[in-house]
């Protein structure tokens, strides 16, 4: 009996010394919504975080005003749909736009969310995925510092930013 108690105590002690393994489960390709087009409804699934990492690097390059890095991350045929009706097509036009904007407004981004998404069974986008992201952007406009909240729908293929849409809301000044 004494031996059984000692053996039981040793088992309890030895099992309590083992490190507990916590597994982190990451769901990719889990259906999370849909995209409705005139032709068809496509399911949307959670995507791979590589697009979030690419977008974070892209925003970091913007904060550093690193036009060379931005240009390398852009596709040559990038399309950008700005919040005030601007349409920028092509890497060269994007870099030209940013040169002026960086000098005039000195924008600075602070991302507050990003979510990767893939549109399933959409032939034209079979190798790419989207990231939906939001940031507060501080900038100078006519000598006054303002901040706006921007939301982005960003499409990427093969490690390049192909296109993105920017939606914007001015934040009220708090004084």
Q: How many distinct structural domains can be found in the chain? A: 1
> Looking at residue 62, which CATH number applies to its domain?
3.10.450.50
- pLDDT at position 41 is 84
Which band of pLDDT confidence, cut at 50, 70 and 90, is reported for residue 34? confident
Other C-beta atoms lying within 10 Å of the C-beta of residue 22: 5
Whether residue 67 lies inside any domain: the answer is yes
Residue 18 has pLDDT above 60, yes or no: no
Residue 11 has pLDDT above 90, yes or no: no
Q: In angstroms, rounded to a whole number, what is the distance separating the alpha carbons of residues 75 and 68?
A: 13
- Which tokens hold the place of 76? 């040559």
Whether residue 62 lies inside any domain: the answer is yes
Residue 108 has pLDDT above 70, yes or no: yes
Mean model confidence pLDDT for the chain: 85
Per residue in 42-55, pLDDT tens?
A: 788 888 899 999 99
Whether residue 14 lies inside any domain: the answer is no
* In the chain, % of residues over pLDDT 70: 78
Per residue in 155-173, pLDDT tens?
A: 999 999 999 999 999 998 7
Instruction: Domain of residue 101: give its range.
Output: 32-170
Q: Where does the chain show beta strands of DSSP type E? A: 31-36, 41-46, 74-81, 87-89, 108-119, 128-141, 144-157, 160-170
Q: DSSP 3-state assignment of 121?
A: coil
Taking residues 86-108, report their average pLDDT: 97
- pLDDT at position 93 is 98
Whether residue 1 lies inside any domain: the answer is no
Residue 68 has pLDDT above 60, yes or no: yes
- Which tokens hold the place of 89? 């097509």
Q: In angstroms, rounded to a whole number, what is the distance separating the alpha carbons of residues 104 and 42?
A: 41
C-alpha 127, offset from chain centre = 17
* In the chain, % of residues over pLDDT 90: 61
Per residue in 114-159, pLDDT tens?
A: 999 888 766 666 668 999 999 999 999 999 999 999 999 999 999 9
DSSP notation for 95-117: HHHHHHHHHHH--EEEEEEEEEE
Instruction: Please list, in sequence order, all residues whose beta carbon lies within 8 angstroms of the beta carbon of residue 63, skipping any fewer than 6 positions away.
Output: 108, 109
Whether residue 74 lies inside any domain: the answer is yes
- pLDDT at position 21 is 53
Q: In angstroms, rounded to a whole number, what is the distance separating the alpha carbons of residues 61 and 104?
A: 17
Taking residues 91-105, report their average pLDDT: 97
- pLDDT at position 111 is 98
Whether residue 83 lies inside any domain: the answer is yes
Return the higher-pLDDT residue of 23 and 161.
Answer: 161
Whether residue 12 lies inside any domain: the answer is no
Whether residue 119 lies inside any domain: the answer is yes
């Amino acid at each position: 009996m004494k031996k059984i108690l000692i053996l039981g105590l040793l088992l309890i002690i030895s099992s309590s010394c083992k490190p507990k393994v916590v597994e982190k489960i990451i769901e990719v390709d889990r259906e999370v919504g849909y995209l409705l087009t005139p032709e068809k409804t496509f399911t949307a699934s959670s995507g791979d975080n590589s697009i979030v990492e690419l977008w974070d690097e892209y925003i970091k390059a913007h904060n550093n005003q690193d036009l060379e890095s931005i240009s390398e991350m852009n596709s040559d045929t990038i399309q950008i749909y700005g919040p005030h009706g601007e349409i920028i097509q092509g890497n060269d036009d994007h870099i030209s736009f940013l040169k002026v904007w960086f000098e005039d407004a000195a924008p600075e981004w602070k991302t507050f969310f990003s979510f990767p998404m893939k549109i399933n069974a959409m032939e034209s986008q079979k190798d790419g995925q989207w990231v939906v992201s939001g940031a507060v952007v501080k900038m100078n406009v006519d000598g006054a510092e303002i901040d706006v909240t921007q939301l982005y729908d960003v499409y990427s293929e093969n490690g390049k930013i192909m296109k993105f849409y920017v939606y914007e809301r001015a934040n009220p000044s708090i004084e």
